Amino acid sequence: MVSNTDKKGYLSVQDLVVEYRSGGETVQAVNHISFELPGGRSLGLVGETGAGKTTTAKSIMRILPDHATQKVEGVIEYDGTDILKISEAEMQKVRGGKISMIFQDPMTALNPVKTVGEQIAEGLKVHQGLDKVKARAKAIEMLNTVGISEDRVDEYPHQFSGGMKQRVVIAIALACNPELIIADEPTTALDVTIQAQVLELIKKLQAERGTSMILITHDLGVVAQICDDVAIVYAGEIVEKGTLEEIYDHPMHPYTEGLFGAIPELSKDVDRLSPVPGLPPDPTSLPEGCYFAPRCPYATDACREKHFDLEKVSGSHYVRCIKKEQEG
């Protein structure tokens, strides 16, 4: 890991708490999430639907829905500035300029009544002050970068296939040469051969430009392809984090074990999968003690009473589980 003194492109999220108001109840979407991402590295945020991955990303972008958001606390420091504290005008310069987001669903992320060229050029005009002609030229260049021929610059999103639309979304996100990309399930809506093309593209652009990345996904296979670090998210908190090798070679949290047990792996033959039984807890009434205890095969009374902190196991590997503490 890079030392803390190297602040260029350094993202640090400390103790992030996000609560929503929904149907008269408080949804505890993110519960004290902390992680650090040095410039140039890529972090995979892995978890199931409702784990708080996208909410974390939207907090960093400051695009949480105002009407429903009840509480956003903590520190999100980027390049040494707490971006939760800056004004909306300043945030607009960060958003799309320094940090940009690739959204999950390319079918809905694009504006259907604007050409793809206009949509790529928009950010360039706002952030880099390019005039119409220059912005268009840069938009064409971006299309080439993502492998779309330039004669399609004046076409509308509906004229593109799913994979092509996702490339356009990527082109928009990369147009202003951001230092950090947050990719929210960028390939989930795509077929495998197209997914492979898009992942290669992201990897290549990241290597060429030294961009850091947060990849949000539920697919441990995709993480293995492009991430350096991994954080496993469950019920709004990180239950395990470390480098790719630390997590994949020595998964320690029972939930992480469960995630690996639930995927049929091509190189292994198993008669039956061993998924985690049950369902994630209701975020409007999280259990006392460990949030995972109700589904955990190793849970003891101690787990149901006390909520544990992330503890260091080795190197940069952290786990939130009493069992591992005792074993260690």
Partner 1 sequence: MALFEVEHLKKYFPTARGMVHAVDDVTFSIEEGTTMGLVGESGCGKSTLGRTMIHLLDSTEGVIRFRGEDVTHPDKKKLRRLREDMQIIFQDPYSSLNPRMTIQDTIMEPLKLSGRFAKEVLEEECVKLMDLAGIEKRFRDSYPHELDGGRRQRVGIARAIALMPKFVVCDEPVSALDVSIQAQILNLLMDLQEEYKLTYVFITHDLSVVRHISTHICVMYLGQMVETCPTQELFDHPMHPYTKALLSAIPSTDIHNKSQRIQLKGEITSPINPRPGCRFAQRCPYATEECSRPLALQEVRPGHFVSCCHVQEINQ
* Interface contacts to partner 1, rule CB under 8 A: 48-49, 161-164, 191-197, 199-200, 218-222, 224-225, 244-245, 248-249, 258-267, 270, 272-277, 279
The smaller minimum CB distance to partner 1, of residues 207 and 262, is found at: 262
* Number of residues written out for the chain: 328
Q: Min. distance of Cβ 79 from partner 1 in angstroms?
A: 31
The smaller minimum CB distance to partner 1, of residues 133 and 266, is found at: 266
The contacts of residue 204 (CB under 8 Å, 6+ apart) are: none
Copy the structure tokens of residue 42. 């890529």
Q: Min. distance of Cβ 248 from partner 1 in angstroms?
A: 5
Strands of 81-82's sheet in order across: 25-37, 11-22, 69-78, 81-82
On whether the CB atoms of residues 287 and 213 are closer than 8 A, the answer is: no
312: β partners: 318
The smaller minimum CB distance to partner 1, of residues 139 and 223, is found at: 223
Q: Please give the Cα distance from 144 to 139 (Å, whole number).
A: 9
Q: Min. distance of Cβ 46 from partner 1 in angstroms?
A: 10
The smaller minimum CB distance to partner 1, of residues 51 and 121, is found at: 51
Q: Min. distance of Cβ 221 from partner 1 in angstroms?
A: 3
The contacts of residue 61 (CB under 8 Å, 6+ apart) are: 95, 99, 101, 182
The smaller minimum CB distance to partner 1, of residues 63 and 207, is found at: 207
Q: Please give the Cα distance from 142 to 120 (Å, whole number).
A: 8
Q: Min. distance of Cβ 272 from partner 1 in angstroms?
A: 5
